[in-house]
Amino acid sequence: MPAKSYDVLIVGGGIMGSSTAYHLAHLEGKLKVGVVERDPTYARSSTTLSAANLRTVAFSLKENFLISKRTFEILESFESDMAVAGQKPSIYFRAEGNLFLCDAEGLASAQQIFDMHKSLGSNAEWLGPEEIKRRWPLYNLEGIAAGTFGPTDGHVDAYGLLMAYKSKARSLGVEYLQDEAVSLTVQGQRVIGARLASGRELQAGVTVNCAGPWRPDFRRSVSSSAG
């Protein structure tokens, strides 16, 4: 059987793989995109086993804060954007807020991070021990110098988020295959596809590894093609 060919092959259909597939199909509808996912129930997926807490506070790198800030912007219209045939998904986002505490030793660093976030448009709050105790009297604040609170941080239904991306991607023509990529096919210095557990060979102009911790041994299981 000849190898099936894709413009882009994505290994792993969790949140990273399905988001990548959706954005490719959304931005360039002519691309032929395939996603290989071994477990369509996602029972052991890093996505569904995640606590799915979304935050903007306490990132020491500016880039991480900006990525998180962009995530919240996307969520504002996510359910409408991911609608398929007029049906909107539900991701059940709840904004409980995140509170990060620091002691005297970490105070200067925490203040610096907070100031950097505020300069980038953060809505975080800087709280002293008295205000923290007033809002959350259950905390023992011995040794606590201050805290940063992200009032719009919270939790989302990770499975719902994943299914929204997956359904939308499929509606845009992305093909999902229930199988497992066991090795990558290499020609020269390029990855040109993958071999599946079922024995099928897939070819691709670009192969994206979104398998996360489930595929750390791809480099050790590379196969070569001289074609």
Q: Chain-wide mean pLDDT for the chain?
A: 93
Q: Are the C-beta atoms of 217 and 211 separated by less than 8 Å?
A: no
Mean pLDDT in runs of 10 for the chain (227 residues)? Answer: 89 97 97 96 92 94 97 96 97 96 97 97 97 96 97 97 98 97 90 93 95 67 55
Q: Write the CA distances from 114 to 26, 57, 119, 176, integer angstroms.
A: 35, 8, 9, 42
Question: Per 3-state DSSP, what percentage of the chain is helix, strand, and coil (rounded to 5)?
Answer: 30, 30, 40
User: Residue 112: CB partners within 8 Å, gap ≥ 6?
Assistant: none
DSSP H or E segment with residue 208: strand 201-209
pLDDT tens string 32-80 = 999 999 999 999 899 999 999 999 999 999 999 999 999 999 999 999 9
Q: How far is CA 66 from CA 61, 76, 123, 187, in A?
A: 9, 16, 13, 37
- pTM for the whole structure: 0.90
Q: Are 66 and 120 in contact (CB under 8 A)?
A: yes
How is residue 61 annotated by DSSP?
Answer: S
Residue type, 55: R
- Report CA 97 to chain centroid distance, whole Å: 20
Q: Give the chain's domains with CATH numbers.
A: 4-51+158-224 (3.50.50.60), 53-155 (3.30.9.10)
| Closest by CA position to 177, among listed 12, 46, 31, 28 | 12
